[in-house]
Chains A and B, each alone.
Chain A
Amino acid sequence: MPTKTFIEAIREGIREEMQRDDSVIVLGEDVGKKGGVFLATDGLFEEFGEERVIDTPLSESQIVGTSIGAAVNGLRPVAEIQFADFIFPAFNQLLSEAARMRYRSNNTFGVPMTVRAPYGGGVHGALYHSQSVEAFFTHIPGLKVVIPSTPYDAKGLLRSAIRNDDPVLFFEHKKMYRSVRGEVPAGEYTVPLARAQVTRPGTQLTVVAYGLMAHYALEAADHAGEDGLSVEVVDLRTLRPLDKETVLESVRKTGKCLIVYEDNRFGGYGAEIAAIIAEEAFDYLDGPVTRIAGPDVPGVPYNHVLEDWFMVNPEKILDGIRQLAAY
């Protein structure tokens, strides 16, 4: 099977959906001739023309708001927000408009729109090019939130997102764009939304993670295995709607759960996972549900020593595994 980088898989997913369906358009800042600042849309302008690959002004609310309107009138926009850190001017359009359109119109209007955005730290991006923003959006009923970790999943989930009849936020960890490579089959396939995956079976402890942290969790779990600990890793892939059952099934089996996320710890997405486990798997627990997450500072600092201090890494996860295992 051919292998591709994470960004190649994403680009191929967009291109093939555009080939398959004329109603798919791409819009965002620098997505045209430049092909996006990370080259996620490289070559699409040449292949599909300026009408379907639209360079927008620097106006994120407009990127999302016009995507909503275009979606209402028969298109399937794939909007790119250049960095997830810059999505907040569009927050009102996502929260008040895209997320609520179907509910508030009693199912008479829908917004089949995908909003892609690179997120995450570890790339010397400092406070405003490193942020994890998923918790703001997973809180909102009416939005789907996807964070893939492998090229295979990225392509398959992106295709599902574009074909979905509701707004999907598709966050891509930018550190993975070129550092992660994996098998991607040539033919058409999709990966369903709202399905988590056990990426490493184990019996003594569950680690729940997503995005880059799903890789780091696997690394940490391998090291733990060298110590004789059997760690299971669950890669959520879709954060909302959440595949609760896969998480609960794993925790009921292992009795211990460590949740890993790169975002600030307080009120982060992992807090919801912890609450669900406490409510629905309490009787199976042999230890507290614990978290390894980013520190509670307003952003990732720039200096490499400070950035390393901020970032969750396999060593920190391994520490968390050992502490919980020893409980």
Chain B
Amino acid sequence: MAVGHRTESGTSTRRAHAGGLGAAVGLTDEQLIEMYRMVALARAVDERMWVLNRAGRIPFVISGQGHEGAQVAITWALKKDHDWVAPFYRSIATAMTFGMSARDILTAQYATANDPSSGGRQMPGHYGHAEHNLLSVSSPVATQILHAVGIALAAKIRKTGQVAMTFMGEGSSNQGDVHEGLNFAAIHKLPFVLVIENNGYAISVPVSKELALPDVADRASGYGIPGVVVDGADVLGCYQASKEAVARARAGDGPTLIEAKVTRLTGHSSDDQQTKYRPAEELEAERTRDPLPKFREQLAAAGVLDDELIARIDAENKAVVDDATDYAEKEPDPDPANALMHVFAEGVEGEF
């Protein structure tokens, strides 16, 4: 199955040219453009969420701004609708790269009855989509690593050829489940990839108070597996690292830990004011690590993008986000009459 990334509003007409920027990592210019479109779309969706929150339309936002380049590139290496992803709460770009639409993301913000993640039951940020093998996620952090490892175990036993990938922050990486999951996955050489999106903060706690090592990836050696550090603003570098990890997993050679150094451009959530614990100079400097302009400039310098195409993608993305917002605004709330449903497969507990 091809990587095959659906676009929200048709595919670009620009043709690939041989020997371009993507050749080194096996991507055509057309794929690079679609990758850029996805990074920009995830950002546009994310920015709309904040606007809606500040306008009082939605109660809560948890953001992926600054993480999108790494998320799109790393997820891009998986086979969509075949492999598995266990995401975390910043995985907007991952979820979209893996098949969720802007409407799917916006209905989660509005918690509508038809929100495919949870039917309005979970807070926004808890994305999941059964049709795309994107597993439902909870709020206690890092629990999902064990689910991804179990998915990989089933893939190995059932010989499905699937790879399971999970994502989390460096804060989550300190949970015991991470140790238990990596240990088990490494013992059984499971087709599994752990992606740490290290943005330097666990809410307000800086990485110096989270880790005694500079890199989470250093821990991989304790499990006898490769640990790779990549610059999260280097989209193609992230893709290359993921491609290698996925190939290794699929070949039966076991798990890889990828640590992408990203930046968190927003507060932890809409209820957090990060200027309280991050100096203004640091926040200003972090803007230079934003993957979106970096990727755009890189593609423009290589002749893959030009101003006209950038403007067109921006306009198309805006139309997609407007459509998703209008759609989600109109979708009904869940009916409390159904709130007892789906505790068990049989339906309501008292009925059997």
Contact = CB atoms under 8 A, between A and B. Distances in A.
Q: Do A and B bind each other?
A: yes
Interface of A: 23, 25, 51-52, 56-57, 59, 61-62, 64-75, 77, 89, 92-93, 96-97, 100-110, 141-142, 144, 164-166, 194, 241
Contact of B345 (A72, A75, A102, A241): A102
A77 B140 CA distance: 23
Contacts of A74: 154, 158, 160
B150 A73 contact: yes
7 contacts: A65-B149, A65-B150, A72-B147, A89-B176, A96-B139, A97-B143, A100-B138
A166 B344 contact: yes
A144 B352 CA distance: 12
Nearest to B143: A97
A101 B143 CA distance: 12
Contacts of A92: 140, 143
A240 B350 CA distance: 10
B128 A103 contact: no
B118 A110 contact: no
Point out which of B136, B138, B183, B349 has the most chain A C-beta atoms below 10 A from its C-beta: B136
A61 B176 contact: yes
A61 B119 CA distance: 28
Contact of A62 (B184, B341, B343): B184
B130 interface: yes
Interface in B35-57: none
Contact of A105 (B136, B149, B176): B136
A57 B140 contact: no
Contacts of B152: 69
Given A105-B130, A108-B128, A142 B343 contact: yes
For the complex of A and B, the 4 pairs showing the least CB-CB separation, nearest first, are A69-B150, A65-B146, A106-B119, A66-B150
Contact of B136 (A64, A101, A142): A101
B149 to A, nearest CB: 5
Contact of B343 (A65, A75, A102, A164): A102
B78 interface: no
A66 B136 contact: no
Contact of B344 (A57, A102, A108, A109): A102
Contacts of B84: 73
Interface in B180-212: 180-181, 183-184, 187
B162 interface: yes
Nearest to B162: A73
B241 to A, nearest CB: 23
A223 B350 CA distance: 36
B150 A72 contact: yes
Contacts of B136: 101, 104-105, 108-109
A165 to B, nearest CB: 4
A46 B188 CA distance: 19
Interface in B4-55: none
B142 to A, nearest CB: 10
A306 B349 CA distance: 40
